[in-house]
Amino acid sequence: MPLIRRCFAVDLHDDPERIAAYRKWHEPGGPPAAVNTAIRADGVESLEIWWAGDRLFMVMEQDPARAPDPETKRARDTADPDVAAWDALMAGFQKSLPFAPNQTWVELDRIYSLGEQP
């Protein structure tokens, strides 16, 4: 089964010091090993976060056969103290997009593909 590409966006609090700290946390070795393990357990083969100003974009390639349903993922992440602590730490840097209150990492809908164009 081919991998699926999923893309997400979230904003950061517009504070240069907080943004620098967030970027530092994402350097190699920054996230706890349990976080990387949990991501890989969800069938994620690659994941990148891109930054512009106070906005982040996440692009990931995921094996749909190994992707848990959202409730299973939420329960598994909540039960892992390292993953839960990471999520809480990152939540302090992130803010909801204007159209999605109380939500982070909003999944994007693809509206264009050059490969589908004549």
CATH class for domain 4-108?
alpha beta
Residue 109 CB partners (closer than 8 Å, separation 6+):
none
Place of tokens 């159209």: 99
Catalytic residue among 5, 13, 40, 66: 13
pLDDT tens-digit map of 10-69? 999 999 999 999 999 999 999 999 999 999 999 999 999 999 999 999 999 999 999 999
Q: Is-catalytic flag, 26?
A: no
Answer yes or no: is pLDDT of 6 > 90.
Answer: yes
Both tokens assigned to 42: 């969800």
- The phi and psi torsions of 74 (rounded to 5 degrees) equal -60, -45
Mean pLDDT of 102-113: 96
pLDDT tens-digit map of 23-36? 999 999 999 999 99
The pTM assigned to this predicted structure is 0.91
Residue 11 CB partners (closer than 8 Å, separation 6+):
54, 55, 56, 94, 95, 96, 97
